[in-house]
């Protein structure tokens, strides 16, 4: 079969898949326009409802109600949105999730709290060298501050951290295991339930970074008995640039760990302006300062769309998109020296597909000029982020076909 036959066949498959896609209607819910956007794992597209909701804020809750809006809605917003995220994407019962801070800061707070609660003799944090930079830097920082050592796992970059890797690193000296659920590079999905159980069997806590899984995988934090989790809201959750993070603390731990940035907004009675800090009951104590309301307004609208669709159909489409893109890459790019880095096993692959070729830095620059937008990851990777709510099969194919076109 020639390349153009293969492309014609892939085009008709894409058309069939789009016609059969139960989530196809969601594309019209997004604002703006682009020829092919394959970076929803880095910055999700805005939902159309975000614009009117921001305008309403300026004219209404901010412009007209002004400071009264703190009592009327804003004070509770980090917890209300947290609970909505918990119910719709995290598998978390109410009262365990809060929206606040950046991921980096929330990660610091929860990791510091977790190591602070570790009994004497548990002075090791297990983490991996393939994790996102911020996670590695925060681990090093917390370890230095709290007098712990870090036991680094060096996973197979194409596979990711396995339960066996974690088992080999565990021991009676481990306080906390920090891992990403989905690798930001390869898209590998770690076995969240198995690793959590394993860590618990050694008496350690687990802290999961869900940046690349929240909004695209069916995460079940409560069912897996997870202790702590953090994640971004501007990737698959479409909260917008700089939208705040979320933090999850299992109810059983909320009174047992102490977060390191006590602030007035996490106080039991903020407006008493008391002399000393008394933490609020429940998740409010994990809030430090004034919540970023502006950054939560588009997020609330995006969560609304996810609530209408449900996370299971979102994951189903994510798997189909991944399979289709891998098949297209095999047929259009493999003969040109491009490798598929992401797992081929649907269960072990998250919401993006990573391809590798030494020429990709230049290829991505050319793609962006053509309004085809994936991202480049050092040294030779293209990540194709497949956002099930906003990415069509035709759009995903357009990206792969355009890579074939511009590849030298
Ligand atoms: C995107 C990402 C972050 C980003 O942290 P910010 O504080 O929001 O910049 C952190 N960790 C992981 C694993 C990520 O993928």
Its pTM stands at 0.97
pLDDT band at 2 (very low <50, low <70, confident <90, very high): low
Reply yes or no on whether the pLDDT at 3 is more than 80. no
Summarised one tens digit per residue, pLDDT across range 291-330 is 999 999 999 999 999 999 999 999 999 999 999 999 999 9
Domain ranges of the chain: 3-48+310-406, 73-308
**Architecture (CATH level 2) of domain 3-48+310-406:** Alpha-Beta Complex (3.90)
Domain boundaries 73-308, CATH class: alpha beta
CB contact burial 54-80 (16+ within 10 A = b; e otherwise): beebeeebbeeeeeebbeeebbebbbb
In whole angstroms, what is the distance from residue 329 CA to residue 357 CA?
12
Interval between CA 319 and ligand 1 midpoint (Å): 23
265 by Cβ neighbours in 10 Å (0-12 / 13-18 / 19+) ranks as middle
Site to substitute for ligand 1 among 44, 141, 182, 184, most atoms within 8 A of C-beta: 184
Kindly report, residue by residue over 386-408, the tens digit of the pLDDT: 999 999 999 999 999 999 999 98
Residue 284, pLDDT above cutoff 70? yes
Question: Mind giving me the DSSP string for 6-36?
Answer: HHHHHHHHHHHHHHT-TTGGGGGGB-S--SE
Cα–Cα distances (Å) from 170 to 76, 99, 133, 182, 297, in that order, read 39, 31, 22, 21, 41
Give yes or no for residue 1 having a pLDDT over 90.
no
328-375 pLDDT, tens digit each:
999 999 999 999 999 999 999 999 999 999 999 999 999 999 999 999
Catalytic residues: 132, 209, 234-235, 383
Ligand 1 atom closest to 245 (CA): 8
């Amino acid at each position: 079969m020639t390349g153009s036959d293969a492309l014609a066949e892939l085009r008709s498959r894409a058309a069939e898949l789009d016609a059969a896609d139960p989530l196809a209607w969601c594309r019209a819910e997004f604002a703006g326009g682009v020829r092919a956007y394959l970076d929803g794992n880095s910055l999700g597209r805005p939902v159309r409802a975000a614009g009117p909701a921001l305008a309403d804020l300026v004219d209404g809750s901010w412009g007209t109600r002004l400071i009264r809006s703190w009592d009327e809605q804003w004070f509770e917003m980090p917890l209300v949105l947290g609970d909505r995220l918990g119910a719709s994407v995290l598998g978390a019962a109410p009262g365990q999730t809060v929206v606040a801070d950046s991921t980096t800061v929330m990660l610091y707070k929860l990791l510091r709290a977790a190591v602070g609660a570790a009994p004497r003799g548990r002075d090791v944090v297990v983490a991996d060298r393939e994790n996102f930079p911020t996670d590695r830097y925060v681990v090093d920082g917390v370890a230095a501050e709290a007098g712990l050592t870090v036991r680094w796992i060096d996973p197979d970059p194409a596979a990711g951290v396995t339960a066996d890797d974690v088992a080999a690193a565990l021991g009676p000296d481990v306080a906390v295991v920090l891992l990403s659920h989905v690798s930001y590079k390869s898209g590998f999905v770690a076995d969240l339930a198995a690793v959590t159980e394993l860590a618990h069997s050694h008496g350690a806590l687990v802290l999961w970074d869900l940046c690349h899984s929240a909004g695209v995988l069916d995460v079940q934090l409560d069912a897996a008995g997870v202790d702590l989790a953090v994640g971004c809201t501007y990737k698959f959750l479409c909260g917008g640039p700089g939208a705040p993070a979320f933090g999850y603390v299992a109810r059983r731990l909320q009174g047992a760990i102490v977060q390191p940035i006590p602030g007035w907004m996490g106080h039991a009675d903020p407006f008493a302006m008391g002399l000393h800090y008394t933490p609020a009951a429940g998740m409010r104590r994990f809030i430090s300062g004034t919540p970023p309301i502006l950054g939560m307004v588009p997020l609330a609208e995006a969560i609304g769309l996810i609530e209408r669709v449900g996370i299971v159909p979102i994951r189903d489409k994510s798997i189909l998109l991944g399979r289709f893109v891998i098949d297209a890459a095999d047929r259009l790019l493999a003969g040109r020296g491009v490798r598929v880095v992401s797992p081929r096993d649907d269960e072990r692959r998250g919401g993006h597909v990573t391809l590798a070729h030494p020429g990709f830095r230049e290829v991505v620059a050319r793609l962006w000029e053509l309004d085809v937008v994936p991202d480049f990851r050092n040294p030779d990777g293209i990540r194709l982020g497949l956002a099930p709510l906003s990415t069509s099969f035709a759009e995903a194919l357009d990206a792969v076909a355009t890579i074939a076109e511009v590849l030298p």
